[in-house]
Amino acid sequence: MRTKNRRRLWTALFAALLMALGLGSPVAFGQDAPVAAAQQVLNWTGSDDITKYASAPTTAVAGATTIVFENSAATGNTMGMPHTLTFDTSDPEYNNDVPVNILANPNDSEGGKHSVEVTLTPGRYRYHCSIPGHEGMQGILVVTEGGGEDTAAPETSAKVEGQKNAQGEYVGSASVSVTATDAGSGVDKVEYAVGADGAWQPYTTAVVVDQVGAHKIRYRAS
């Protein structure tokens, strides 16, 4: 996988695979919703100091990002002083595609902690506090490409096939085929397990179920 030592593992689960040699219930199966990749979170904090932010990130990766600005007693603001986190969108020397302008103080309705969802692009962003007298509160955020890191889970699906009787029950056996695709770094491996506690095994061909009763087949891809 072309990732930076990170692997996103996605597991989908058959709800129930019911098959019968004479008596049984129709087959029913489904998938868990895919787990969303963790989004990048960048945090700024304010305090009683009007010359600099109490803390601020210096680098980030391009893509969906949650920007959090907290200016509260917990971050060192004991005076109830307001600050803003404002991204410069007028200077052509910097990226100007993120119009962030957050005003926060310990006594506001959010307790001084606010967040906003943005999409960062490669380049440099200048941020500052726009309150007069607080001009020293400024800095540069350098955003780089993702470096080939793939944080999206593979798309995985399964299909049950076999001969059914008039009641829609599988007769003799049923086979479960698993398919996984990934447009980013590709699929590293596909695995399956029989039963809720069965051991994971490499998936190489369709899994055949030929025992009477209810069976749970789990599968996952990374």
- Residue 114: name the closest of 58, 64, 72 by CA: 72
The structure's pTM equals: 0.53
For CA atoms 86, 91, 93, 98, give the dihedral sign.
Answer: positive
Residue 138 sits in the same domain as residue 63: yes
- 174 is in which domain, residue-wise? 10-36+151-221
Cβ-contact 118, 139 below 8 angstroms: no
Q: How far is CA 50 from the centre of its chain?
A: 35
Provide the pLDDT confidence category of residue 167 given band limits of 50, 70 and 90: confident
Choosing from 144, 173, 206, the residue where a domain stops is 144
Q: Residue 76: inside a domain, yes or no?
A: yes
Provide the pLDDT confidence category of residue 16 given band limits of 50, 70 and 90: very low
Residue 169 sits in the same domain as residue 121: no
Percent with pLDDT over 70 in the chain: 80
Cβ-contact 58, 93 below 8 angstroms: no
Q: What number is the average pLDDT over the span 44-54?
A: 97
Choosing from 114, 144, 174, the residue where a domain stops is 144
Three-class SS of residue 74?
A: helix
CA-CA-CA-CA torsion for 71, 77, 79, 82, nearest 10 degrees?
-20
Cβ-contact 95, 127 below 8 angstroms: no
Q: What number is the average pLDDT over the span 109-137?
A: 96
pLDDT of residue 130: 96
Q: How far is CA 184 from the centre of its chain?
A: 15
Look at residue 17 and tell me whether its pLDDT is greater than 50.
Answer: no
For residue 15, give both structure tokens. Answer: 């709800």
Q: Residue 78: inside a domain, yes or no?
A: yes
Look at residue 4 and tell me whether its pLDDT is greater than 80.
Answer: no
Residue 92 sits in the same domain as residue 168: no
Choosing from 126, 144, 162, the residue where a domain stops is 144
Q: Per the structure, how many domains does the chain have?
A: 2
Provide the pLDDT confidence category of residue 101 given band limits of 50, 70 and 90: very high
Residue 116 sits in the same domain as residue 56: yes
β-partners of residue 114 are 69
Lowest-confidence pick of 8-22, 167-181, 187-201: 8-22
Residue 45 sits in the same domain as residue 140: yes
Residues in the chain: 222
Q: Residue 4: inside a domain, yes or no?
A: no
pLDDT of residue 10: 38
**Comparison of pLDDT for 189 and 45, the residue scoring more:** 45
Residue 118 sits in the same domain as residue 193: no
Q: Residue 2: inside a domain, yes or no?
A: no
Strands (E), 136-216: 138-144, 155-161, 170-171, 174-181, 190-194, 201-202, 207-209, 213-215
Number of H helices, E strands in the chain: 0, 18
